[in-house]
Amino acid sequence: MKPPTRLQALIEEGMIDSVMRQLMSGKEATVYIVRCGEDVRCAKVYKEADRRSFRQAVDYTENRKTKNTRQVRAMAKRTRFGRRAQESAWHSAEVDALRRLAAAGVSVPRPYNFYNGVLLMELVTGEDGDVARRLNDVDLTEDQARSFHLALLQQVVRMLCAGIVHGDLSEFNILLGAIGPVIIDLPQAVDAAGNNHARRMLLRDVSNLKLFFGRFAPELLLTDYGEEIWDLFERGLLTPESELSGRFEKDTTPVDLVGVLRQIDDTRAEEAARLLRLQTIE
């Protein structure tokens, strides 16, 4: 097929040899199957139009590193340059997340290169060697549902241990590869420790998995892995080998408000006394 304009640049740079066919097109990007020497890979061509709401962008990009203060100001003002900078940062976030997660052993497509708004990465294939199907296109047995659900929870845990929350995980961005589920589509991935929305997004990701797999294995609907995982993470106890129970009991102990206020008053009194001593010394 005739190469799209954005992919022609990669051909000229020698990164790909030819474009075989279009794989899919979504609101964020169009994905093509390309040939690189003897290898068949995947090229994700990001669309330039900004189709996400500003609120969504703020939630996902909170605490992300930005190259310079000019970009920060422009992104805040939503100028044309700012929108381009924000779009570029959005694309780069997926590349960075894929590299970090692949290094951490998470089941994601291996990224090879990122050039001119095109991400060149591994093409995920199924057991038959064809392009892997999305999870939402597959009918599962109860045993398969339990097995895949457990495998994906382990991937979510491994991602969190690497400091990343997917932020939009569902059956629509999981592929069934030859050796199990593969997580894709990570431009909205967030910093687990630095984003105030990380907990909410983690709980939503885990809930999406529960609701999908619960269609095939209803007992999964009674689990509460999300709260359990986040609690272990907050307490510094989460590891890729953590054994999960799917149960979580929230702390319902009443807050000792009087005691808290007393501690605040004591701290203020100590600070006032310290300042008074300093004034006396001076």
Active site residues: 168, 185
Asked if residue 183 lies in contact with residue 108, where contact means CB atoms within 8 angstroms, the answer is yes
In angstroms, what CA-CA distances link 44 with 19, 33, 82, 203? 12, 9, 23, 28
Q: For residue 154, what is the enclosing H or E element?
A: helix 142-161
Q: For residue 279, what is the enclosing H or E element?
A: helix 257-281
Q: Which residue has the tokens 């529960």?
A: 210
Give the sign of the dihedral formed by CA 172, CA 42, CA 22, CA 128: negative
User: Residue 174 — φ and ψ, nearest 5°?
Assistant: -130, 130
Which residues in 86-173 belong to E strands, given as ranges? Answer: 111-115, 118-122, 133-134, 164-165
